């Protein structure tokens, strides 16, 4: 062993994960001829930097009809490494695109924002970054956020709505009402872990739409398109589409 271990002017010994003081102590012991048993573990050695993007489509209301309100439909377009992500969350991404297509035609008094977030799986990075861009005024005008994450698996359970605090809000109220009329009762519960969280944290009524319990292929290489049920996608698209319509159509009253 030579002096490189603790002998430079750096503050720590990065390779061994030791502080400078610990490195010097180790060096002293080695120089004094002590026999040491050292366990070396390599963890998280690879570091890289990359950029992720959110994709945002906006439909503003007619100037004369503007209620001043905003409603957001979201999903995430990334997936975990090794998983194709057909259900998590291409299902929500596809449904968001379809809702944007369908709702682009309605006369709206409420601004519609359709967003697919990046880097959800890395800690909701895209949605936190997006919420960071909103002004207090925009946050105050945002009456609802509908998050679609894992909404197409034939092997998952029933459509469920999750809020961060487990309480009902305008989003779950509309989901329940429309669900009961269009298909079947949609229950709600408490769960974070998706892009509705950053919105909820700034006070925007938000809910995650997901089939629960999740499918066995969750976050595996088996999350492939053959497991996707068109009927399940259709059901969630109708429920969320009708709920958004009820907020946004110019003939319906403002939410609050
Ligand atoms: N956000 C999770 C994901 O993308 C989905 C999830 C939410 C799963 C809540 C279970 C419960 O992996
Ligand atoms: Zn996931
Ligand atoms: Zn997801
Ligand atoms: Zn309206």
Single out the residue of 142, 127, 185, 197 nearest to residue 160, CA to CA.
185
Mean pLDDT of the region 159-178: 97
pLDDT grade for 40, boundaries at 50, 70 and 90 = low
Residue to substitute in 194, 208, 212 for testing ligand 1 pocket (most ligand atoms within 8 angstroms of CB): 194
- The ligand 1 atom at the shortest distance from the C-alpha of residue 191 is 9
Could you tell me if the CB of 101 is within 6 A of ligand 1? no
Q: Tell whether ligand 1 has an atom less than 6 A from the beta carbon of residue 215.
A: no
Convert the pLDDT of each residue in 62-80 to its tens digit. 889 999 999 999 999 999 9
- The reply to whether ligand 1 has any atom less than 6 angstroms from the CB of 120 is yes
Q: Is the peptide bond before 89 cis (omega within 30 degrees of 0)?
A: yes
What DSSP line would sit under 190-213, residue for residue?
E--SSTHHHHHHTT--EEEEEEES
78 CB less than 6 Å from ligand 1?
A: no
Provide the pLDDT for residue 9.
Answer: 43
Q: Is the peptide bond before 92 cis (omega within 30 degrees of 0)?
A: no
pLDDT category at 251 given cuts 50, 70, 90 is confident
Mean pLDDT computed over 55-59 = 98
ipTM of the complex: 0.93
Residue 14 pLDDT exceeds 80 = no
Burial tier of 166 (Cβ tally within 10 Å: 0-12, 13-18, 19+): exposed
- Which of 81, 88, 219 best tests ligand 1's pocket when mutated (most atoms within 8 Å of CB)? 88
- Judging by beta carbons within 10 Å of its beta carbon (0-12, 13-18, 19+), is residue 22 exposed, middle or buried? middle
The answer, yes or no, to whether residue 190 has pLDDT greater than 70, is yes
Which pLDDT score, from 0 to 100, does residue 4 have? 39
Look at residues 47, 91, 51, 103 and name the one whose alpha carbon lies nearest to residue 194. 91
Q: Please, what is the average pLDDT of the chain?
A: 91
Tokens of 89: 């969350």
Question: CB of 149 closer than 6 A to ligand 1?
Answer: yes
Give the distance (Å) from ligand 3 centre to CA of residue 149. 5
Region 80-88: mean pLDDT is: 97
- Looking at residue 5, its pLDDT comes to 42
pLDDT at 1: 37
Q: What is the pLDDT of residue 29?
A: 84
User: Is the C-beta atom of 150 inside 6 A of ligand 1?
Assistant: yes
- Which helix (H) or strand (E) segment holds residue 21: the answer is helix 20-31
Percent of the chain scored above 70 by pLDDT?
90
Say how many Å lie between the CA of residue 2 and the centre of ligand 3. 50
- Does the pLDDT value for residue 42 go beyond 90? no
Which pTM was predicted? 0.83
Give kind and range of the element (H or E) at residue 97: helix 91-103
């Amino acid at each position: 062993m030579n002096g490189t271990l603790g002998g430079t002017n750096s503050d720590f010994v990065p390779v061994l994960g030791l502080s400078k003081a610990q490195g010097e102590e180790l060096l002293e012991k080695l120089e004094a001829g002590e026999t040491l048993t050292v366990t070396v573990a390599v963890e998280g050695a690879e570091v890289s930097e990359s950029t992720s993007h959110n994709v945002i489509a906006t439909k503003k209301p007619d100037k004369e009809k503007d209620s001043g309100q905003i409603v957001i439909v979201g999903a995430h377009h990334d997936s975990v490494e090794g998983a194709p992500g057909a259900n998590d969350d291409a299902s929500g991404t596809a449904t968001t695109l379809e809702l944007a297509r369908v709702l682009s035609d309605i006369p709206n008094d409420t601004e519609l924002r359709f967003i697919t977030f990046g880097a959800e799986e890395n800690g909701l990075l895209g949605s936190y970054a997006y919420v960071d861009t909103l002004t207090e005024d925009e946050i105050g005008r945002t009456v609802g956020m509908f998050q679609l994450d894992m909404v197409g698996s034939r092997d998952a359970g029933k459509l469920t709505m999750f809020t961060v605090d487990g309480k009902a809000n305008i989003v779950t109220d509309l989901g329940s009402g429309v669900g009961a009329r269009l298909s079947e009762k949609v229950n709600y519960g408490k769960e974070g872990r998706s892009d509705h969280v950053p919105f909820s944290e700034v006070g925007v009524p938000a809910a995650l739409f997901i089939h629960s319990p999740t499918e066995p292929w969750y976050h595996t290489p088996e999350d492939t398109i053959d497991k996707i049920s068109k009927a399940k996608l259709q059901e969630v698209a109708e429920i969320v589409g009708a709920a958004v319509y009820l907020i946004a159509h110019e003939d319906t009253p403002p939410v609050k």
